[in-house]
Amino acid sequence: MEHQKYERTLVMIKPDGIQRSLIGEIVKRYEQSGLKLVGIKMTVPTVELIEQHYLIDPEWRMKTGLKTIESYKKKGAKPPSEDPLVITEIILGNLKKYMTKGPVVAMVWQGMHAVGIVRKITGGTEPLTSSMGTIRGDFTIDSYEVSDIDGRAVRNLIHASGSQDDAEKEIALWFTPKELIDYRLINEAMLYDAELSGILGQ
């Protein structure tokens, strides 16, 4: 098995992150964790790219639809439909509108447990309940309820891959192999070297 220091994940700063002038702050949060930035670009996504991106996980439609119905019922509210696939079609339609409204910044971060560490730094999907100290908890204020009433995607600043398998597929969708840089970061020795030799003089 390849060493976990090579694990990679895709992060995207969504259009609200750019418009809120949070690019630097968001990059800083991932950078200071010890992960290594190996690819970055600004682009205005097409509707086709956004659709491909969200449908990379074949389970996403069903999972997200079921999760949404459950959260409506938990609050004692009636979901917009009893069919999970109808619900996700609405969510996906709103995401396509939102994600193509302006530039996004796509990044690939590499390092030990990159997928899990990035999810932790990013915070839970719904800003109302994302923990303080996470990007979504600290920098935005949206909820599913209000975004659903207003008929728009939840403004949660970031996309971050949900699993290593999704990450590899998403990276291949957003970046060519040439756009990803294989380089050594001096700091990595402190994270990964077993011996830590060469710090003190002989």
The answer to whether 67 contacts ligand GDP (rule: CB under 6 A) is yes
Draw the binding track, 95-114, toward ligand GDP (x: CB under 6 A; -: no contact).
Answer: x-------------------
Mark the segment that binds ligand GDP (CB under 6 A) among 36-44, 74-82, 107-115, 146-154. Answer: 146-154
Query: How distant, in Å, are the alpha carbons of 24, 67, 100, 186 from that of 63?
Result: 33, 6, 24, 41
- Spell out the alpha helix ranges (H) of 40-163: 47-54, 60-74, 84-99, 114-122, 135-139, 144-149
The answer to whether 125 contacts ligand GDP (rule: CB under 6 A) is yes
As given in the structure block, the two tokens for residue 165 are 């398998």
Which does residue 140 bind out of Mg ion, ligand GDP, none, counting CB within 5 to 8 angstroms by kind?
none
Which does residue 134 bind out of ligand GDP, Mg ion, none, counting CB within 5 to 8 angstroms by kind?
none
**Within the chain, how many helices (H) and strands (E) appear?**
10, 4
Position among 105, 156, 157, 170 found at the interface with ligand GDP (CB under 6 A):
156
DSSP single-letter state for residue 163: S
Which does residue 67 bind out of Mg ion, ligand GDP, none, counting CB within 5 to 8 angstroms by kind?
ligand GDP
What are the DSSP E strand ranges found in the chain?
8-13, 36-43, 104-110, 158-160
The answer to whether 64 contacts ligand GDP (rule: CB under 6 A) is yes
The rounded distance, in Å, linking the Cα atoms of 122 and 105 is 15
The rounded distance, in Å, linking the Cα atoms of 191 and 32 is 12
Range 149-168, binding Mg ion (CB under 5 A): 162
Catalytic residue IDs: 159
Nearer to Mg ion, 137 or 162 (CB): 162
> Which residues in this chain contact ligand GDP in the complex, by CB under 6 A?
64, 67-68, 71, 91, 95, 125, 144, 147-148, 153-154, 156, 159, 162
> Which residues in this chain contact Mg ion in the complex, by CB under 5 A?
162
